[in-house]
């Protein structure tokens, strides 16, 4: 396995991501928060323990977690109290384990998916480690609910700061140096192999996984950030588990009682291959990209409604 599905690789794509992220005061502040989270010993210990637990579960250990029904009911109650949710083509959801691959616009996206997916098979989420554990209520909820695989990645805001420091913003050099020193990119061979073992073990248990193959939050509603990460295809090919494309619509800019749409695509079925070839991987990635693009609206228009609780809801899951 040569790439992770969710982690930006240290190549020209980094500059592309930075170019797409405006360098604003909010961007800089977010990058500073990221460094603080990366340096927090308590958070790092929680992440380490969560990864160890995920690896143990994948190897057959028992897990003390709330049932899928209870988790779904709690999350569904929260999401449906804040938003109107429309689900399309739910009949396409397989009853067997599946790799759920969705576009990604907001940190609320995994919670929205869990509120609408069946409780069985139980779904584990690939989620950004620092975002998952940066607030006490998230740590408490995840401690009880479980079902999360924390991954290490560098944020688009941090990439924007690094890029700016390299192109003349001397006032950002110190922050950029701190990012490069303290923020884990998660692209080591050891870490990616560890993730692969966890994924294959979870599928072997008859459970599902949710991931976001863009590898970052998108900036524009209904536009897919490409190229997609190859890991989604590698996981599917190595396990023989179908990929379920899902389009999330309306989550980029949140406000109270906004309609959010979850649109399920046709499962992508691929033959199992313990050593998938580059052509096979590319074919699956291309097929997934086409499926997600077809599911997303071509002429999305943001509703002209009062944006109640706009700031609160857009930052609630940060």
Give the model confidence (pLDDT) of 105-139 as tens digits.
999 999 999 999 999 999 999 888 888 888 888 88
Q: Which residues are 149's β-sheet partners?
A: 126
Work out the pLDDT band at 295, boundaries 50, 70, 90.
Answer: very high
Burial 60-92 (b: 16+ CB within 10 A, else e): eeeeebeebeebbebbbeebeebbebeeeeeee
Q: Which stretches does DSSP call E strand in 134-255?
A: 148-151, 208-211, 243-249
65-154+192-315 sits in which CATH class?
Answer: alpha beta
Angstrom distances, CA of residue 234 to CA of 4, 126, 215, 250: 9, 15, 15, 29
Contacts with 31 (C-beta within 8 Å, 6 or more apart), sequence order:
155, 157, 158, 160, 161, 175, 179
| Confidence at residue 7, expressed as pLDDT on a 0 to 100 scale | 33
Res 42 pLDDT > 80: yes
Cis peptide bond prior to 121, omega within 30° of 0: yes
Sheet holding 243-249, edge to edge: 84-88, 259-264, 243-249, 99-102, 208-211, 123-128, 148-151
Res 228 pLDDT > 60: yes
Cis peptide bond prior to 28, omega within 30° of 0: no
pTM of the model: 0.86
Indicate the average pLDDT of the chain: 89
Q: How far apart are CA 152 and CA 79, in angstroms?
A: 26
Q: How far apart are CA 142 and CA 138, in angstroms?
A: 6
Structure tokens at 21: 């992220």
| Confidence at residue 200, expressed as pLDDT on a 0 to 100 scale | 94
More confident residue, 188 or 199: 199
Tell me the percentage of the chain whose pLDDT exceeds 90. Answer: 67
Quick one: DSSP state of residue 246?
E
Q: How far apart are CA 144 and CA 13, in angstroms?
A: 37
Res 34 pLDDT > 60: yes
| Confidence at residue 20, expressed as pLDDT on a 0 to 100 scale | 56
- The arithmetic mean of pLDDT across residues 91-114, rounded, is 95
Q: What is the sign, positive or negative, of the torsion defined by CA atoms of 186, 189, 195, 196?
A: positive
Q: Which uninterrupted H or E stretch holds 212?
A: none
| Confidence at residue 10, expressed as pLDDT on a 0 to 100 scale | 32
Q: How far apart are CA 222 and CA 186, in angstroms?
A: 28
* pLDDT tens digits, 264-280: 999 999 999 999 999 99
Res 18 pLDDT > 80: no
Q: How far apart are CA 218 and CA 207, in angstroms?
A: 27
Tell me the percentage of the chain whose pLDDT exceeds 70. Answer: 94
Lowest-pLDDT range, 14-18, 24-28, 30-34, 54-58?
14-18
């Amino acid at each position: 396995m040569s790439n992770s599905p969710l982690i930006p690789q240290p190549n020209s794509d980094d500059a592309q991501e930075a170019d797409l992220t405006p360098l604003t005061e909010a961007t800089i502040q977010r990058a500073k928060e990221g460094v603080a989270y990366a340096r927090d010993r308590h958070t790092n210990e929680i992440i380490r323990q969560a990864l160890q637990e995920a690896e143990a579960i994948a190897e057959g250990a028992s897990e003390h977690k709330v049932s899928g029904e209870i988790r779904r009911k709690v999350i569904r109650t929260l999401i449906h109290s804040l938003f109107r949710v429309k689900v399309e083509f739910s009949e396409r959801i397989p009853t067997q384990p599946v790799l759920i691959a969705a576009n990604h616009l907001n940190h609320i996206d995994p919670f929205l998916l869990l509120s609408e997916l069946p409780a069985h098979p139980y779904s584990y989420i690939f989620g950004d480690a620092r975002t998952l554990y940066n607030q006490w209520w998230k740590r408490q909820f995840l401690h009880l609910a479980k079902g999360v695989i924390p991954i290490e990645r560098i944020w688009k805001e941090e990439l924007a700061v690094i890029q700016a420091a390299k192109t003349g913003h001397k006032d950002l050099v110190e922050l950029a140096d701190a990012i490069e020193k303290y923020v884990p990119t998660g692209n080591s061979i050891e870490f990616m192999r560890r993730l692969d073992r966890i994924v294959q073990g979870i599928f072997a248990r008859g459970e599902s996984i949710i991931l976001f193959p863009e590898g970052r939050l998108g900036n524009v509603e209904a536009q897919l950030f490409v190229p997609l990460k190859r890991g989604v295809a590698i996981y599917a090919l190595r396990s023989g588990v179908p990929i379920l494309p899902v389009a999330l619509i309306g989550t980029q800019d949140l406000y109270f009682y906004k309609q959010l749409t979850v649109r399920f695509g046709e499962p992508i079925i691929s033959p199992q291959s313990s050593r998938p070839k580059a052509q096979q991987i590319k074919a699956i990635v291309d097929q997934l990209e086409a499926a997600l693009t077809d599911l997303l609206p071509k002429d999305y228009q943001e509703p002209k409604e009062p944006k109640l609780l706009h700031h609160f809801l857009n930052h609630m899951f940060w």
